[in-house]
Amino acid sequence: MHTAKQPKNRLSGALFGAALCLALTASASGVASAAAEGTAAGTQRSAVSAPVLPQGSPVIEAMDWFVAHKGDTSYHGRCEYAVAAAWQRHIVHYSAKTHWTSDDGAQHTTGTPPIASFVFWKTSRPYWHVGLSDGRGGVWMTDASDNGAIGFKSNYKTAVSGGTYVGWKPGSP
């Protein structure tokens, strides 16, 4: 009787990192999904765990909204409406630029934007652009692809083609 040698069941480094990330953040559903998305896109992630937040927290709900709307093109050109919808905000600014220049939250221009914070870019258009940080250097945003779909970019500083990163403001409902 011939028996085939069974391959060893080992995870590759990237797959191990994704599994570790998901295991560490399993109770934070949207955060786990957002972190896994970055890993699945082929980016390298460190073994630092994402913050574990309680289910039903506004931060998790905001991140879950973007994960659930991945690929949605109905917010093409309407980034401010998308971040407002994610946070279930009562305040919806006219544009990302008016949001940045408003007194609605303190402006920060240094440091990695915290999870679910608003991230802003100056663009050639007068309205600018805004997305939500994953807290680990990535960002969820509208117009993440050529067709205007909601998606994930692994580097917030270079996420907007032709745009200049301006800074971030704390996320809030």
pTM above 0.75, yes or no: no
Whether 96 is in a domain gets the answer: yes
Q: How far is CA 69 from the centre of its chain?
A: 12
Whether 14 is in a domain gets the answer: no
Each residue of 76-110: pLDDT tens digit? 999 999 999 999 998 999 999 999 999 999 999 99
Residue 55's pLDDT band (cuts 50, 70, 90): low
DSSP-based three-state secondary structure for 133: strand
Closest by Cα among 56, 45, 51, 58 to 170: 58
Q: Indicate which CATH number applies to the domain containing 89.
A: 3.90.1720.10
Higher pLDDT, 22 or 64: 64
Each residue of 60-78: pLDDT tens digit? 999 999 999 999 999 999 9
Check residue 52 and give its pLDDT: 55
Check residue 10 and give its pLDDT: 36
- The rounded mean pLDDT for the chain is 78
What does the DSSP 8-state code read for residue 165?
Answer: E
Average pLDDT over residues 133-143: 97
- Beta carbons within 8 Å of 123's beta carbon, 6+ residues apart: 129, 160, 162, 163, 164
Whether 48 is in a domain gets the answer: no
Q: What percent of the chain has pLDDT over 90?
A: 65
Check residue 4 and give its pLDDT: 43
CB-CB neighbours of 81 under 10 Å:
15
Is the pLDDT at 47 greater than 90, yes or no? no
Higher pLDDT, 41 or 141: 141
Higher pLDDT, 159 or 55: 159
Q: Dihedrals φ, ψ of 56, to 5°?
A: 85, 0
- In the chain, the number of structural domains is 1
Check residue 11 and give its pLDDT: 31
Whether 8 is in a domain gets the answer: no
Show the domain range for 99.
Answer: 56-169
Is the pLDDT at 7 greater than 80, yes or no? no
